[in-house]
Amino acid sequence: MNIKASRKRFKPLPYILIFPTAVFVALFTAWPVILSIYQSFFLQRMNIARFREPTFIGWGNYIDLFSDPYFIQVIKNTLLYIIGTVPISIVLGFLFALLVNRKVRGIGFFRLAVFHPMVLPMVSAATIWLFLFTPDYGLFNAALRFLGYSGPENWTGNPSLALLSVVIVAVWKNSGYYMVFYLAGLQNLPSDVYEAAALDGANGWQTLWKITFPLLRRTTIFITIVAFIDSFRTVDHIFVLTSGGPSRASTVLLFDLWLERFEYQDIGISAAITVVFVIVLLAFTVTNFITSERKEV
Amino acid sequence: MKKKMLYKIFAVLLVLGLLLGACAPAPAAEPVQDEPAPVEEAAPAEETEAEVEEEAEEATMEPVTFQVFYPVAVDAPIAAILNGYIEDFQAEYPYITVEPVFSGGYADVQTAIQTTIDGGGEPPALGVMLATALYDLINADYIAPLDGYIAAMEDGDAFEADFLPAFLANSYYDDQLWSIPFQRSAVVMYYNADMFADAGLELPTSWQSWAEAAQALTVQDGDSINYGLHFSSDWPYWLFQPLAIGAGQNILEDDCTVVFDDPAVIEAVQFYIDLSAVYGAMPAGVQASWATDPPDLASGATAMITHSSGSLAGLLDQADFELGVMPYPGKEEGTYASVPGGGNFYIMKGAAQEKQDAAWKFVEFISRPEYVADYSINTGYIAHRFSAYDTDAMLAYVAEVPQALDTRDALQYAGAELATQNLGQVRGIFHDYIQRAINGEMSAADAMAAAQVEADAALADFCP
């Protein structure tokens, strides 16, 4: 009886400890999301006097969005951008980690070389790439020509290459960052497993595929989430390289959100885009964790 | 179990947190702290008009502090320059304190002011925003008209008439004055005069001779080509407008009427395409080269660029050849064209009246010829008042840098900059279609016709 009673006694300490975080999350995370959901059901445009006060229009904003070919194109661009950046930069990060995880003299230099793009602010990185991409004297084209490339060279101005050029910059910038996580993971792997594998006569490929990769699964999950979210929220280089063009060929979801809210001053539509955003990211993260936790058992 | 749960919660929070970061491209400006300011007297308009006797009042004026949000859009130490002017101003008006707030680019200033007002805060009394933002700012009810202040001045009409008319064009709406020019520029064509001389070429006087000169100055340099002309089109409307004006038809008539599908405008689009397709004087397609063009000209990688007059100071610094500045040649022989750009002062309606009044005093102060001249000399912006050109400092400067007069003179050929209702969307439509034409996805005529239809629809809600 005594024990039960003491268990039920209210302990305020945990609540006090969590209080600041809870307030912070409620204020800066939950509240804006709730507000966006609310606003997404209203017609409100700041630059038209008679639409400045919000009017309830139900699903109107969502219907407008998904019947607008531009928005469909933006969704397509976003998907292509994610497919282009996430897997490639993770695979590259993994390969770089394997390459620089050796005891060779001067390896620090190579680690630094792969990692340094991450230290640059995105805007500086994009500005450097502006010069690399120039059609007449750009180094990027010169390098490609050296490798036998003879295709179009106007990377940022060509509608079928503009999205690819922002993908290239993102991959260049991010893979070094992911490499660091993989490198940390690799260096924490237990050596006895490798010894056992060597005794059993496993070749390099088997060791990599059956031991290293599975052991790094947690790292991979973490990097996937970071990479996925990052691919949604990085637009700085798009501002610098293409301004979302030509003809919106490189406009992704967040860039479009900025356009609608601050260029077109359309609060309802931008709230609806925010809601789409939240749903996609939440769905991704929750799925990712549910599936990964299940395998753990 | 608990640990797993925690992980999940953490993950969800992580996503939401990152997302929040993503959803706020510009940090919301902090609501302006209320100064220990005088009790609001709700100063009525008549009181501001009684400013004539201000000298007598000044000694007893209550202290007032106001903020000015300003952008840095050119390669010049704007913050240091502005702080110097503010010190001078405060020495003359000891009861006024000016707090300058550097806020990024033009878009960031507008975003910061918007978020402050939308969030229920008090906006800064003064902001420097694009001259073309006028209609959006009026529609959103952010800015206050300035006619009352002009009327209260002893020489108000003369004050207004002293501004170069091309720069005042985007300040009027509904017969009221809403903004005062501050850092203004124009589209010009810069050229490497040495290359022209070496090739024995005359300066272009028409589209024809312009294109031929660009063609003649295009040289193969080993594996790469040095094109004769760099003409960026990643944010095309501004640099394109002088082409349309040079063909005889600007792309807008008023805030409710755009003219995209006129034959002259289509011809201008076609000329841009032909510079590459027919003359081979430019790379093909949309050129995302706004940022790389000035260094390219300075390093000799090209002979001509189209750019903002605001790049003059930086180019003069870097170029080791004789740099020339001129308006675009027009289509017909002997015609020229340009278009103004840049930012104006706006006074925010939401600021306390005494702050607005203090802000106007600052605008008046900084519009004095000696400050206009000084700002122009130090930044490369065009001095926007006639009287500034009579100051000793300016006379000495143009004796040394005659190009500064060329940028001003380009303005006599200028049409109005694209400023319409619903500007963001209308401009976006124009950009979409002109880029389709430039990239060969549509013909110039089809693209401009489609742009006209969409732009008319985008304006319909605004222009009943």
C-alpha to C-alpha distance for B267 and B246, rounded to whole angstroms: 10
| Same domain assignment for residues B306 and B281 | yes
Tokens 């076609």 belong to which residue? B270
Mean pLDDT in residue range A73-89: 94
| Same domain assignment for residues B249 and B277 | yes
Q: Is residue B13 part of a domain?
A: no
Q: Is residue A176 part of a domain?
A: yes
Alpha carbon of B399: minimum distance to chain A alpha carbons (Å): 35
Complex prediction ipTM: 0.83
B107 to chain A: which residues are within 8 Å by CB? Answer: 262-263
Looking at residue A116, its amino acid is: H
Looking at residue B105, what is its pLDDT?
84
Cα distances from B45 to residues B49, B151, B353, B380, in angstroms, run 6, 12, 9, 37
In this structure, what CATH number is given to the domain that contains residue B74? 3.40.190.10
Assess A68–B contact: CB distance below 8 Å, yes or no: no
Which segments of B119-187 does DSSP mark as H helices, in order?
134-139, 147-152, 156-161, 165-168
Tokens 């930086």 belong to which residue? B314
Mean pLDDT in residue range A17-41: 92
Mean pLDDT in residue range A71-76: 93
Q: Is residue A1 part of a domain?
A: no
Cα distances from B86 to residues A182, B82, B361, in angstroms, run 53, 6, 12
**pLDDT-flagged residues of chain B (< 70):** 1-60, 75
Looking at residue A297, what is its pLDDT?
39
C-alpha to C-alpha distance for B166 and B366, rounded to whole angstroms: 19
pLDDT tens by residue, A192-241: 888 888 888 888 888 888 888 888 888 898 898 889 988 988 888 998 89
| Same domain assignment for residues B453 and B306 | yes
Q: Do the beta carbons of residue B67 and residue B124 sit within 8 Å?
A: yes
Q: Is residue A20 part of a domain?
A: no
pLDDT tens by residue, B239-262: 999 999 999 999 999 899 999 999
Mean pLDDT in residue range A246-274: 91
Across the strands, what pairs with B97? B65
C-alpha to C-alpha distance for B133 and B343, rounded to whole angstroms: 9
Whether residue B25 and residue A159 make contact (CB cut-off 8 A), yes or no, is no
| Same domain assignment for residues B387 and B422 | no
Q: Which of B429, B409, B437, B436 is nearest to B268 (CA)?
A: B437
Q: Do the beta carbons of residue B242 and residue B339 sit within 8 Å?
A: yes
Q: Is residue A16 part of a domain?
A: no
Looking at residue B39, what is its pLDDT?
37
Chain B 174-213, CB below 8 Å of chain A: which residues? none
**Beta strand B126-130 pairing with B64-70:** parallel
Q: Do the beta carbons of residue A282 and residue A226 sit within 8 Å?
A: no
Q: Is residue A41 part of a domain?
A: no
Say whether pLDDT at A142 is over 90. no
Mean pLDDT in residue range A116-122: 87
Share above pLDDT 70 across residues of chain A, in percent, rounded to a whole number: 96
| Same domain assignment for residues B426 and B299 | yes
Q: Is residue B11 part of a domain?
A: no
Domain residue limits at A192: 68-296
User: φ, ψ for residue B230 (rounded to 5)?
Assistant: -115, 125
The number of domains in chain B is 2
Q: Is residue B349 part of a domain?
A: yes
Alpha carbon of B43: minimum distance to chain A alpha carbons (Å): 26
Q: Collapsing DSSP states into helix, strand and coil, what is residue A58?
A: coil
Whether residue A281 and residue B19 make contact (CB cut-off 8 A), yes or no, is yes
What is the CB neighbour count within 10 angstroms for residue B48? 18
Q: Is residue B266 part of a domain?
A: yes
Say whether pLDDT at A103 is over 80. no
- Tokens of residue B120, six digits: 């229920």
Q: Do the beta carbons of residue A27 and residue A35 sit within 8 Å?
A: no
Looking at residue A295, what is its pLDDT?
56
Looking at residue A232, what is its pLDDT?
87
Whether residue A247 and residue B4 make contact (CB cut-off 8 A), yes or no, is no
pLDDT tens by residue, A148-179: 887 778 888 888 899 999 999 999 999 989 99
In this structure, what CATH number is given to the domain that contains residue A244? 1.10.3720.10
| Same domain assignment for residues B218 and B307 | yes
Q: Per-residue b/e over A2-16, b at no fewer than 16 CB within 10 Å?
A: eeeeeeeeeeeeeee
Q: Is residue A30 part of a domain?
A: no
A-B CB pairs within 8 A amount to: 180
Q: Count the residues in chain B.
A: 464
Mean pLDDT in residue range A122-131: 89
More confidently predicted of B202 and A287: B202
Alpha carbon of A285: minimum distance to chain B alpha carbons (Å): 7
Q: Collapsing DSSP states into helix, strand and coil, what is residue B385?
A: strand
Looking at residue A276, what is its pLDDT?
92
Domain residue limits at B108: 50-185+342-412
Q: Is residue A137 part of a domain?
A: yes
| Same domain assignment for residues B288 and B429 | yes
Share above pLDDT 90 across residues of chain A, in percent, rounded to a whole number: 35
The number of domains in chain A is 1
Smallest Cβ–Cβ distance between B436 and the set A153, A229, A247 belongs to: A247
Assess A246–B contact: CB distance below 8 Å, yes or no: yes
Alpha carbon of A139: minimum distance to chain B alpha carbons (Å): 10
Q: Is residue B278 part of a domain?
A: yes
| Same domain assignment for residues B332 and B354 | no
| Same domain assignment for residues B309 and B426 | yes
Q: Is residue B9 part of a domain?
A: no
Q: Is residue A229 part of a domain?
A: yes
C-alpha to C-alpha distance for B214 and B271, rounded to whole angstroms: 13
Q: Which residues contact B302 (CB under 8 A, 6 or more apart)?
A: B192, B226, B227, B228, B229, B230, B293, B296
